Chain A
Amino acid sequence: MSQQIQGNAVDNISNRASGLALTDVSLELGDGAQKVRVLDHVNLHVEDGEFVAIVGPSGSGKSSLLAVAGALSLPDTGSVRLRGQELTTLTAKQRAKHRLQDVGFVFQSGNLIPSLNAADQLRMVNLLAKGPRNFDPMPLLDAVGMSHRAKHRPGQLSGGERQRVGIARALVTKPAVMLLDEPTAALDSARSHEVVSLLAQRARDMGVATVMVTHDHGMLDHCDAIYKMNDGKLTRG
């Protein structure tokens, strides 16, 4: 049975100092008659180390939710907090810095930089985040089983391998939250299970609040909680 999180629970969510908390978040896109409410009073809390999935049809608002949770866009109303820090009041520059240091994105098909080999994908993020000069990408690549492909570029990797490198890249800065946008969209069933299992394991081991948007209901067994998105409304499944 679905249960919408609202009412008194809202205050409890917004005051928490751990994990990711979206409170009464609404967002409209478009102008005039074309205006569409893509997020409708959404409430969501994901604890550190928790791995939750959001499912729903195309256009239901899943990616918009990720965008707001990752400080890529600002909601019209509501609060977005990560480990107690309010994100909606940050400037664009501060939000970019926040994404770099506290958010790990995993995109469809990995979305790796074509010119960089697997190790350089990680070095690039470390460089942008002004991480340690002696940063070694190999332990992270090893953790996702990709150290043997460190010198290979995305074009030389399979879909599953690209996604593993994408996961390692998202973990470079030890983020507080990982946001996964259809991470299995380009993978077969076996590879999908492998990747999502790895993500769930990493999220729990590193205490990272993780939100996965997916169409693939076969992956939901790996998740601690499942939410459904429909017409901008989020309900727990």
Chain B
Amino acid sequence: MFLALRELLFARGRFSLMGAVIALIAVLTVILSGLSSGLVNDGVSGLKSMPVSAFAFDEGTKTDNAFSRSVIEQKQVDAWSEQPGIEQATPMGSSMMNAITDDGTQVDIAVFGVAPDSFLAPDVSDGKQLGDIDGIVVSETMREEGVEIGTVLTLDRVDTELTVIGFTEGQATFGHVDVAYAPLETWQLLAAGQAPAGTPTQQDLDRLDFDYSSVVALKYADGASVDLAAGDAAADTSSKTLAESFNASPGYEAETMTLSMIQVFLYAICALVVGAFFSVWTIQRKQEIAVLRAIGAPVRYLLRDGVTQAALLLLLFTAIGIGAGLGLGAAMPAGMPFALEGAQIAIAAILTIVLGLIGAVISIIRIARIDPLTALGGNR
């Protein structure tokens, strides 16, 4: 480190310029990571917050938007309930709807129909638990739309009125739309097209002749290993684990793939830029390295010194970039899907440093090829 530190100080202008590029890349990785997490939250936080192990969709349902497309019969739910390792199997309905609040604000909601006494019933941060026929528990983020407990949402076209009785704990969104949990029978009333204008009543439910839902939500017994393929064969479904089922939410796969692609390019650029810098830096130091090697400096020492230098540069300026990125992230407008998650930022920082270091090592390794004889001038 003797030489590495002194060179960093000596060529601080050049290293600062390189450092600024590394810091900018780190800022971008934080912003992209925040956007990625924000979009994921917007897309599937409603699913992530559920204590579900897996979802079973009707066999043959197209993957994209499968939550809305799939139609499940009660016998398929029953078939899953009998599978070994399944603690609970419960039907869940899912529909995208437009509504208007009683002050005239237009809102979009993802109506999740769940049995109030099932494990799918949402935890409530404010208000009542799910149970009333016309009562819905909505995502806490709907407060930003001016929705309060007691607000009546009138569904477009059918004019059915549902009253907000509670808010979920934290964000619960699906496909960038706030989730509204409704009792499963209320959802079935809406899905069957039998919902009346105004407030639904018990008489409406009694008349309901619709025993379908969208998916089967599965909860494994503690420590159980479930054979999903066997369950699918028995229930004529196509099941996915919770994480896999995210791809079945609207636009999720396309969004995350786009952002992932940008991130991959960013990391590649980081490795290339740092590699190119250290390549030029090594070429500039060729005579100096030849002298050191002629004196007898071991190649291993020179390589270690160069890699240490690159590591110090990457660590320092990635930290600066991450700090700046966090500052920028905190200033993002509220409407932007942006969420800073420690683990994601740590991964982004580690990847920036590791890939930058790989680029640097590939360049620095040429030290081993510098001929110490060149230290003796051009007379040979």
Chain A interface (Cβ < 8 Å from any Cβ of B): 29, 38, 58-59, 62-64, 66-67, 70, 72-73, 93, 96-101, 103, 105, 107-108, 111, 113-116, 120, 123-125, 127-129, 153, 181-182, 185, 213
Contacts and interface: CB of A to CB of B under 8 A. Distances in A.
Nearest to B290: A111
Contacts of B9: 115
A96 B287 CA distance: 17
Contacts of A101: 296
B294 A116 contact: no
Contact of B376 (A59, A66, A120, A129): A66
Instruction: Give 6 nearest A-B pairs by CB, closest first.
Output: A100-B296, A115-B10, A99-B296, A63-B380, A63-B379, A115-B7
A114 B377 contact: no
Contacts of B372: 72
Interface string B263-296: 0000000000000000000000001100111111
Interface in B350-380: 372-373, 375-377, 379-380
Contacts of B379: 58-59, 62-63, 182, 213
Contacts of A127: 2
Contact of B377 (A63, A93, A96, A115): A63
B243 interface: no
B297 A100 contact: yes
Given A113-B3, A115-B3, A116-B3, A64 B294 contact: no
A107 B375 contact: yes
B170 interface: no
Nearest to B2: A127
Given A38-B380, A70-B294, 4 more contacts: A111-B375, A124-B3, A128-B295, A128-B298
Nearest to A117: B6
Contact of A120 (B6, B301, B380): B6
Contacts of A98: 296
26 contacts: A58-B379, A59-B379, A62-B379, A63-B377, A63-B379, A66-B376, A72-B294, A72-B376, A97-B296, A99-B294, A99-B295, A103-B296, A105-B294, A105-B295, A105-B375, A111-B287, A111-B375, A113-B288, A113-B291, A115-B3, A115-B6, A115-B9, A115-B10, A116-B3, A116-B6, A128-B296
B287 to A, nearest CB: 7
Given A72-B372, A99-B295, A115 B11 contact: yes
Nearest to A170: B295
Contacts, number: 86
Interface in B200-245: none
A109 B323 CA distance: 45
Contacts of B11: 115
Contacts of B287: 111
Contact of B373 (A73, A100, A128, A182): A73
Contact of A72 (B7, B299, B373): B373
* Residue from the set A72, A101, A153, A213 with the largest chain B CB neighbour count within 10 Å: A72
A29 B371 CA distance: 15
A22 B299 CA distance: 27
Contacts of A123: 2
Contacts of B377: 63, 107-108, 181-182, 185
B152 to A, nearest CB: 74
Given A66-B376, A111-B287, A96 B296 contact: yes
B293 to A, nearest CB: 7
Contacts of B292: 113, 128
A200 B294 CA distance: 22
A198 B372 CA distance: 26
Nearest to B300: A93
A93 B287 CA distance: 20
Nearest to A112: B291
B373 A93 contact: no
A154 B188 CA distance: 84
A170 to B, nearest CB: 9
Interface string B240-252: 0000000000000
B291 A128 contact: no
Nearest to A38: B380
Contacts of B293: 96
A72 B380 CA distance: 12
B288 A67 contact: no
Nearest to B380: A63
B376 A107 contact: yes
A153 B380 contact: no
* Residue from the set B301, B375, B380 with the largest chain A CB neighbour count within 10 Å: B380
A144 to B, nearest CB: 17
Contacts of B288: 111, 113-114
Contacts of B299: 96
Contacts of A103: 296
Given A111-B287, A115-B10, A116-B6, A93 B376 contact: no
A53 to B, nearest CB: 15
A67 B287 CA distance: 16
A73 B371 CA distance: 10
A64 B6 contact: no
B304 to A, nearest CB: 12
Nearest to B4: A115
A97 B2 CA distance: 19
Contacts of A185: 377
